[in-house]
């Protein structure tokens, strides 16, 4: 059994949210020791480099590419899975070794990654996003045409429901199809033909049924939610609020008290504004993009709300995931807090903190080697050099070829 030592790197300590010089010893895909002067059979010299835990993106859509909705709607059905494989590789190369797919990827994509058929981050999949009639996931547009960016198939059930009974049956269908997490839209959205983010969707009894039924299956509920829709989701026990635009102080206080995570996906707004400037968004979507800054994240930090990193890629491109760290710092997090949001906090949100999220003995050997100071998140994505997953170099300058 080969013991590999990553020597002389500057390690990010996700618990202390600081970085210092130390060695990491890895054996059989697991971290077995962290300290100084460790010995091993193989040595990886990390002098001048930072060593991070494998990063975690809690909100991606791997089967989707770009922001041109009408182009996407005209593509052949199966193309999404080939693009998904490419997007998985891009995400892994960015240092993201684990993701939560927030609608799109199905069980087969997760299994393909687990079996080593395609390189990519390990995945939790939601399959699709539960929506009420006329909600964010309803594919009907004002013209009465259907523009479904996530068309149903046997591995991705249709998800338009109304009333607790339909909600209960739908969650059971999603669980049967292999969902690891339940995704719901309790607010309208920007990239859809219906109401905007400030309009609340679903009533309390429907949301409570989702949470109870998911809990019975051992799953969490993540809610695409803003404003009053987020308040209803928090009130009824969802695990995380995704996007979370325009959250009032009462909602943030509830989140802090209950330990409800905020996944702010700041990259998505950056991507939408760039797409708006490029003129590739339909007028119906462009009209819902709010100008100016939202101070929700700053107030969430002050209120003590737990924050986890999510990007909503591809609204900002797959492979550019670490831009989110810079944006979180711009919105009030320290660099250490931003890295914590992308490591231990994200692992905790996903129920994976026993195995992932920090460089500690007994955890999976997911490591990311970066040039320079790991606490300097500016341009961090451009400084990723080698990505290890379960102790194996899977992306970057020392990548192990497929089949080796």
**CA–CA dist 122, 367 (Å, integer):** 14
Kindly report the CATH class assigned to 55-321: alpha beta
Average pLDDT for residues 30-54, to the nearest whole number? 97
Q: What is the mean pLDDT of residues 52-64?
A: 97
Model confidence at 195, pLDDT cuts 50, 70, 90, reads confident
- Give the integer Cα–Cα distance in Å for 265 and 16: 24
**What percent of the chain is predicted at pLDDT more than 90?**
81
User: What pLDDT score was predicted for residue 404?
Assistant: 39
Residue 379: band (very low, low, confident or very high) from pLDDT cuts 50, 70, 90: very high
**Separation of alpha carbons 186 and 194, rounded Å:** 13
pLDDT at 69: 66
Contacts 24+ apart (CB under 8 A), 106-112: 106/153, 106/155, 106/156, 106/177, 106/178, 107/155, 107/177, 107/178, 108/155, 109/62, 109/63, 109/81, 109/84, 109/85, 110/178, 110/180, 112/85
Mean pLDDT of the chain: 93
Identify the pLDDT of residue 401: 45
pTM, 2 dp: 0.95
The span from the CA of 280 to the CA of 316, in Å, is 14
According to the model, what pLDDT value does residue 143 have?
A: 60
- Range in 50-59, 190-199, 265-274, 321-330 the model is least confident about: 190-199
Contact status, residue 308 vs residue 240, Cβ threshold 8 Å = yes
State the pLDDT at residue 402: 43
Q: How confident is the model at residue 350 (pLDDT cuts 50, 70, 90)?
A: very high
Sign for the pseudo-dihedral over CA of 377, 382, 388, 389: positive
| Phi and psi angles of residue 214, each rounded to the nearest 5 degrees, phi first | -65, -45
Which burial class, exposed, middle or buried, applies to 102 when counting CB atoms under 10 A from its CB (0-12, 13-18, 19+)?
Answer: buried
Q: State whether the Cα torsion 218-347-197-279 is positive or negative.
A: negative
Q: How confident is the model at residue 196 (pLDDT cuts 50, 70, 90)?
A: confident
pLDDT digits (tens, 9 = 90+) for 14-37: 999 999 999 999 999 999 999 999
Confidence of residue 282 (pLDDT cuts 50, 70, 90): confident
Q: 109-132: string of b/e by CB count within 10 Å (b at 16+)?
A: bbebbeeeebbbbbbbbbbbbbbb
Give the pLDDT band of residue 399 (cuts 50, 70, 90).
Answer: low
pLDDT band at 67 (very low <50, low <70, confident <90, very high): confident
Taking the domains of the chain in order of start, what are their residue ranges? 3-53+359-396, 55-321
Selection from 141-155, 164-178, 269-283, 387-401 with the highest mean pLDDT: 164-178
Residues 93-142 have pLDDT tens digits of: 999 999 999 999 999 999 999 999 999 999 999 999 999 998 888 887 76
CA-to-CA distance for 389 and 395, rounded, in angstroms?
9
Q: How confident is the model at residue 292 (pLDDT cuts 50, 70, 90)?
A: low
pLDDT digits (tens, 9 = 90+) for 258-276: 999 999 999 999 998 888 8
Question: What is the mean predicted confidence (pLDDT) over 194-214?
Answer: 92
Phi, psi (rounded to 5 degrees) for 233: -65, -45
Residue 227 has pLDDT above 60, yes or no: yes
Q: What is the largest CA-CA distance in the chain?
A: 68
| pLDDT attached to residue 398 | 61
What per-residue confidence (pLDDT) applies to 123?
A: 98
- Kindly report the CATH number that applies to the domain delimited by 3-53+359-396: 2.30.40.10
3-53+359-396 and 55-321 share one fold: no
Neighbours of 390 (CB within 10 A): 15
Annotate the chain with three-state secondary structure. CCEEEEEEEEEEECCCCEEEEEEEEEECCEEEEEECCCCCCEEEECCCEEEEECEEEEEECCCCCCCCHHHHHCCCCCHHHHHHHHHHHHHHHCCEEEEEECCCCCHHHHHHHHCCCCCCCEEEECCCEEECCCCCCCCECCCCCECCCCCCECCECCCECCCHHHHHHHHHHHHHCCCCCEEEECECCCCCCCCCCCCECCCHHHHHHHHHHHHHCCCCEEEEECHHHHHHHHHCCCCEEEECCCCCHHHHHHHHHHCCEEECCHHHHHHHHHHHHHCCCCHHHHCCCCCCCCCHHHHHHHHCCCECCCCCECCCCCCCCCHHHHHHHHCCCCHHHHHHHCCHHHHHHCCCCCCCCCCCCCCECCEEEEECCCCCCCCHHHHEEEEEECCEEEEECCCCCCCC
* Structure confidence at residue 403 as a pLDDT band (50, 70, 90): very low
- Residues 177-193 have pLDDT tens digits of 999 999 999 998 877 76
Q: What integer pLDDT is reported at residue 284 of this predicted model?
A: 73
């Amino acid at each position: 059994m080969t013991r590999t030592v990553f020597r002389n790197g500057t390690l990010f300590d996700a618990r202390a949210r600081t970085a210092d010089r130390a060695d990491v010893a890895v054996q059989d895909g697991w971290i077995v020791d962290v300290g100084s002067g460790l010995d091993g059979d193989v040595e990886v010299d990390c002098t001048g480099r930072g060593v991070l835990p494998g990063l975690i993106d809690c909100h991606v859509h791997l089967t989707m590419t770009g922001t041109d909705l009408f182009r996407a709607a005209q593509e052949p059905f199966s193309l999404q899975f080939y693009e998904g494989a490419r997007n998985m590789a891009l995400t892994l190369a960015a240092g993201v070794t684990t993701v939560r797919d927030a609608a799109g990827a199905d069980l087969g994509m997760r299994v393909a990654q687990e079996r080593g058929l395609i390189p990519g981050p390990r995945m939790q999949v939601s399959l699709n996003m539960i929506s009420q009639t006329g909600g964010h996931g309803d594919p009907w547009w004002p013209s009465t045409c259907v523009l479904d960016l996530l068309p149903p198939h046997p591995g991705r059930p249709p998800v338009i429901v109304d009333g607790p009974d339909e909600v209960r049956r739908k969650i059971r269908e999603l669980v049967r199809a292999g969902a690891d997490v339940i995704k719901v839209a309790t607010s309208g959205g920007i990239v859809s033909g219906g109401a905007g983010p400030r309009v609340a969707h679903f009533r309390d009894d429907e949301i409570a049924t989702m949470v109870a039924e998911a809990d019975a299956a051992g799953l969490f509920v993540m809610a695409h939610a803003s404003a009053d829709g987020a308040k209803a989701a928090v009130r009824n026990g969802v695990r995380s609020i995704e996007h979370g635009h325009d959250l009032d102080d009462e909602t943030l206080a509830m989140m802090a008290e209950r330990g409800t995570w905020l996944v702010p996906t700041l990259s998505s707004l950056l991507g939408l504004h760039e797409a708006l400037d490029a003129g590739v968004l339909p007028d119906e979507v462009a009209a819902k993009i709010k100008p100016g800054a939202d101070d929700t994240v700053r107030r969430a930090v002050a209120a003590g709300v737990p924050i986890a990193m999510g990007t909503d890629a591809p609204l900002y491109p797959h492979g550019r995931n670490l831009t989110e760290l810079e944006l979180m710092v711009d919105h009030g997090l320290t660099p250490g807090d931003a890295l914590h949001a992308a490591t231990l906090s994200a692992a905790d949100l996903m129920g994976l903190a026993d195995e992932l999220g920090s460089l500690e003995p007994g955890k999976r050997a997911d490591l990311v080697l970066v040039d320079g100071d790991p606490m300097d998140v500016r341009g961090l994505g451009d400084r990723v050099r080698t990505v290890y997953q379960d102790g194996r170099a899977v992306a970057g300058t020392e990548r192990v070829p497929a089949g080796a």
